[in-house]
Each structure stands twice: as structure tokens, then as C-alpha cells.
Structure 1
């Protein structure tokens, strides 16, 4: 289980950073992994979010054409909370040793009918399928290790728009003591989708009332590169504590993250 705080200020568009307001996000992330045998493991999880947006009112369902009073307005400067999507997957240890190869596949399934229109929405409420592989290298006579997860994500289409994307999670770590490990890492998401403002403009006017705008959080690219540093401390054979801080050196068509802090605890059985 882990806790994460994320601070967002503005939106990185095609014409620069837009002052769309701030978003504070708190998340509790629940994960579990079960090894069926020495080579096959099942994993799953679900995050619980608590988010608040303050700033420009760009996601008012009453401003749509026609107005949609039955949709909850999550961007009113108050906290919006809820569970996001279930993650269910399987991984297979294809090669063990100093160089490890571990293919995996997973499904993302919305846990409920949460609202997706708003900066403080907990998610996109879309079905996803991820196919990829983990690669790890443990050099001999060294306390260092290198790891990368590379995957392609197929996402449910909205209004016929393809938002499939690549995800790469990579890290390099060093074991300072048998219990203390430091690491640097990066998270990359790069894929297809629409762009603000050009794909939401008609006759030179930015349109925020039609169906495309209502669905825009499902249609935009949301590309980014996050990077950070972290520490892991093995309390004993069963418990591991971790902490990291993360920043965003590159963003394209996504909320501009100022920083994120994560702390977690895991238990082995």
C-alpha cells in the first residue's frame, strides 16, 4: 500500500502553459501480487483518490449544450473522492539470472460510474489493456541494478479517437547496505490523441460546449516524462518501506505537475 500527493498548476497545451487552475491530489494505492509458482504471478490493485480543483471554471456541466444537470460538477473548489479503476494482470518469468525477462499483461476496468468531466475527476472511466515486458540486469560484483518496464496500452475509443500509447518505467538502483537501497527513475507516457486548442476550435473560436469538449479528458494525448529519486528500507524479511519524490521535466497536452511525493509499505507473506 502507498500514499501519494500530487500538486498540479496549469495545463501544458500546444500554445504553452494555460492558467487553468491548481489541482491537489491525494491517493491511497492498494496493490497485491500472488505467485502461483516460481514463474507465474498474478497482480492487482485499485487507487482511491481525493482531489480538489481551484481556478478557472472550465468543466461546468450546466454550460454544455444541452446542459447536463444530472452530471456531478467536481470542480467547485471542494474535495472529490472515489475509487478509480481495478488493475488485474499476470506476469511470467521467461528468463532468470543476471538478466531477467518477464512479460506481462493487464486489464484496467472502471470500478464504478464515477464522473470523468473535470480536473478533479478521479479518472477517465475507460477500459484498458496493457501488454509489455519487464527487463532487469543485475551486474556481477556490483550492488547496482537496472530495470525497465516497456508496455503498449490499448485504450477504449471515445468518439472514434485513438488514444493508445506507450508506457516506459525505468530505474537504476544501488544497494548501499543490505537494508538500504537508493534509486533514480523515470516514467514516460507517449501516444496518440487530440490537442488543445487546435482540435477544439471551430472557425477560430475555442468551443467548450459540445460533446467533444465533454469528452476531452478522454481524447487528449496526456503525454509526459516524470523523473525522480527514491529510497527503500527493508525493515526485516517481511516489511519494506519506500519513499520517493518526482518532478515533470516534459509535458504535452496534460496537466502540469509541479511535484509528487510517494511513501509506501509492502509486506511479504
Structure 2
């Protein structure tokens, strides 16, 4: 028997935030976006008209903020609420409204999927005894996110347009990245994908503990790096588990060898 899709209403006055959530939701099975609202009053009206299972709700919105919307939800016995905010300072107040989860922008794919799983459980099991367990797990997740924000934030995924759709490509699963004119080419799961980005910009966005820059035109994934050797011409080459070899330029050779020595 097929699972009944989780019907979602999105409420956020930032078009880019809505777009990012929509893209992420494309990779999560058994969800259906039934509507979107750009202010609090629209969100309340849409909830009453569309009767979604879950509303992904921004806090700072025109006309009515997220808490006013959430209170209207509770008063009408409406959908489960997942707050999505650029600030973590509202978390305690959010859970006073019986929110299912509280996600901090930019929302990580895994956290979004986890929040929706929790909403499914809430829909399937109305037992109030689960509330304490849910709250404890969410607060643990918020603490981890807070700790992560104290460290540099790096992109964990690419969203690549491919044949009229968007592919979610986790950075940790990419074998290597090479420059190609105004693009970069990602080597991922036996195929290659073009992504419009510069190498210098990528270096700021990628975790050096995941992607090691070995050349002005190349990154390699640490987990895929098998060895470093010199070829017949004396050039330093990064040897990947796939058997592919990527040149290591003189400008990066010292850094690469130092990192290899430290990790070994």
C-alpha cells in the first residue's frame, strides 16, 4: 500500500528561500506542495482553504508573523508547524507553540528530511507522550547546528540543472572537480556534470577537509585520494581510487604533501 503524500504549505516572504526549499523537496519522496504564501495573512487563509498536513513557516513575515500564524493553526486544530528561520533565538518560543521542528536557514537537506519524518510520525501518532522525546531530539539538533555555526560554514551539496530538472549532489560524494572555462565539471557516480561556478569561489565554499585543491584547475576528494606519485616526467600526480590521476601543480605541491603527511 502506497504511503499517503505529506501535503505541505510553504510560507516565506523571501523568494530565494522558497526556491531553495522547493528544490530540496524535489528529492524527498511522498511530499506534495499544495501552496505557498508570502505573508502571514496569506498563510492563515491558505491553511484554512487547503488544509495541508504541514506548514513550513518563516517567523519574520509581513502582516502576521510566524507565531501569530502558528497560534491560528493551534486554535483551528490545523497542520503541524515546522519553523524555518534565519535566527535560532526564537527556538524556545517556537516550541511553546507545539512546533514539530525548528530549522535554521540555510536549511540543510538532512535536517529538512528529518523534520518531515517527524511530521509524518506526528500525523500517524497523536500520542502526546511522544512530545517530550520529540522536543529533546530537536533541541539536540539545534545545539549541533549552533556549534556548527561557530565554525566556518561550508556548502554540503550542489544543486545542478540537468535535463530540465535539478539534481542534488552531495559534496562528499564528488570524486573530483575540474575547471572548464566559465564552468566547473563535477565527477560524480561515474558521470560528469557541468556547474556554473569559479574555482576561486568554490575554494571559499568547500570544506578543505573534504575537498583538497591540488591545482589551479582541480580539487580532489580526500576520501577518494589513494596516493600521490611522480610520473615519468617527474610531475606530481594525485591518484584516485577510480584509477584517475590529477596533476598536482608546483604551487600546491607543498601544501598537498604536508596535508598527506599530517593525515598519515
Q: By percentage of residues, which structure has more strand?
A: 1
Q: TM-score, normalised by structure 2?
A: 0.23
Point out the structure with max Rg over C-alpha. Answer: 2
More helix, by proportion: 2
Normalised to the residue count of structure 1, the TM-score between the two structures is: 0.23
Q: Which protein has greater RCO, CA pairs closer than 8 Å, 6+ apart? A: 1
